[in-house]
Amino acid sequence: MAETDCTVCPELLTRLGAAAGGMRALADLIDREIAEPTQAWRDLLPALAMRARNLAAQAEGRH
């Protein structure tokens, strides 16, 4: 059996990895909207907030 590091939870690493990927996608979306806007900021901001909340929930294991 392979040795495992008991101080690192594999489930936590999986959740954080997924959340990190989501954060990168969120940053890419923001960059694209800055470069070439597709919608008004007042419409975009609530969508960005919802994505950020979903990513936080994912990192906490609620998603």
Does the pLDDT at position 4 exceed 70? no
Query: Residue 32 corresponds to which amino acid?
Result: R
Number of domains comprising the chain: 1
Q: Mean pLDDT for the chain?
A: 86
Which one has a higher pLDDT value, 31 or 11?
Answer: 31
Residue 37 in any domain: the answer is yes
Q: 43: domain range?
A: 12-59
pLDDT band at 38 (very low <50, low <70, confident <90, very high): very high
Place of tokens 């959340």: 19
Does the pLDDT at position 1 exceed 60? no
Residue 55 in any domain: the answer is yes
Residue 3 in any domain: the answer is no
Number of Cβ within 10 Å of residue 45's Cβ equals 11
Residue 4 in any domain: the answer is no
Residue 7 in any domain: the answer is no
Query: What is the 3 state secondary structure string of 2-16?
Result: CCCCCCCCHHHHHHH
